[in-house]
Amino acid sequence: MVNQINHIAALSIDDLRVDFTTEGGRVQAVRGVSLSVNPGETLALVGESGCGKSVTMMSVMGLIPVPPGRIVSGSAMLNGREIIGMSPTELNRVRGSEISMIFQDPMSALNPTMRIGDQIAETLMVHRGMARGDALARAVQLLDRTRIPEAAQRARQYPFEFSGGMLQRAVIAMALACNPSVLIADEPTTALDVTIQNQVLELMREIQREEGMAIVLITHDLGVVARMADQVAVMYAGQVVESGSVDDIFYRSAHPYTLGLKQSMPSVAEADHAQLTPIAGSPPDLFAPPPGCGYCSRCSHAMQLCQSRQPDLLSVDSGHISRCWLQHELSPVRQSDVYLKNAAEVHGND
């Protein structure tokens, strides 16, 4: 909770912990995540696959399968209201109206045997109590608004008759049907090709400007982050390892993982005219999380301490925090330079 507290956040998550019980044991998929996003702002949740970013948001939506999943502790306030631990009926009232979500693959996210218009109208009928005819008319408006040509005709079609980009627009239209205050977008553009990606992202921004909703954008594409985000939270092994404004993350990275991430992303790396460097090794086994920093074994900055102790969340700047011992006041790096440039430089300094 480092954000400005002068007004209520649209969505704020505090110390969320989620476990999955599998045959192999208990996986601690989310280990104390805290996030917050303000109305009209976009928070990008960044990290490699399996780091827990989707699980975090799905848990908030109540979409993780229970069992095997289980929310161990934590809270999530939607417009100041606790939504974790809500009864299924209450949660259903919130979902789709106050908070909605769009998913990665629009092809599979829509029911293949139901008309697009019906699928959008369904939300309206459930949450707004609209009659089918009205809801359908509204669905056409929504489709129109998401720049789908011949919306009235399109509403009568089935998902397989749409192209990928069109479908994602339709999904967005569906998510926006009830003017939610928070929109969670789980890698909304990964399945689309580049030109379409831009169109979709543009659409989202435009709607955000008009509606003033908060967006949580889950992605591993730093390019998308740069275009869209106001705030960024970097997740690794079920934890937020760094968070701050988009500038903080891009220009003043305070965690070796963020740095590694940047160097492995083509779009960012190219911009820096640097070499593309993948992060060696693999993330820790979350069946038995290491006692120290999860990134320790892959980190070129690793210190003795990192192996044995979890780093605390350390404040780097106002609104910029990092979960890394390097930011400790006793750390030699901290003493020399607050921000990490790149691995080579650090080692050179060493």
The residues binding other proteins (CB under 8 A) are: 23, 61-63, 88-89, 91-97, 100-101, 103, 105, 108-114, 122-123, 126-127, 158, 160-161, 171, 174-175, 280-282, 285, 296-298, 301-307, 309, 312, 325, 328, 330-332, 350
Q: Which residues contact 95 (CB under 8 A, 6 or more apart)?
A: 61, 62
Q: How far is the CB of 227 from other proteins (least distance, A)?
A: 24
C-alpha 140, offset from chain centre: 29
Those residues with Cβ within 8 angstroms of residue 269's Cβ, 6 or more apart along the chain or in another chain: 262, 263, 275, 276, 277
Is 2 in a helix, a strand, or coil? coil
- Least spacing, CB of residue 89 vs other proteins, in Å: 8
Residue 23 or 210: the one with the smaller Cβ distance to other proteins is 23
Query: What is the 3 state secondary structure string of 148-191?
Result: CCCHHHHCCCCHHHCCHHHHHHHHHHHHHCCCCCEEEEECCCCC
d(CA 69, CA 64): 6
Question: Which among 231, 232, 221, 229 has a CA at the least distance from the CA of 197?
Answer: 221
CA distance 220 to 226: 11
What SS3 state is found at 282? coil
Q: Measured from the CB of residue 110, what is the shortest distance to other proteins in angstroms? A: 5
**Which CB sits closer to other proteins, 6 or 113?**
113
Residue 161 C-beta: closest distance to other proteins, Å: 7
Least Cβ distance, residue 300 to other proteins (angstroms): 9
Shortest Å distance, C-beta 271 to other proteins: 30
Residues comprising the chain, all counted: 350
Residue closer to other proteins, measured from CB, 195 or 304: 304
Q: Closer CB to other proteins, residue 209 or residue 309?
A: 309
Closer by beta carbon to other proteins, 176 or else 249: 176
Least Å distance, CB 285 to other proteins, is 6
CA 62 vs. chain centroid, Å, equals 15
User: Whose Cβ is closer to other proteins: residue 267's or residue 300's?
Assistant: 300
In this complex, which beta carbon is closest to other proteins, that of residue 130 or of residue 268? Answer: 130
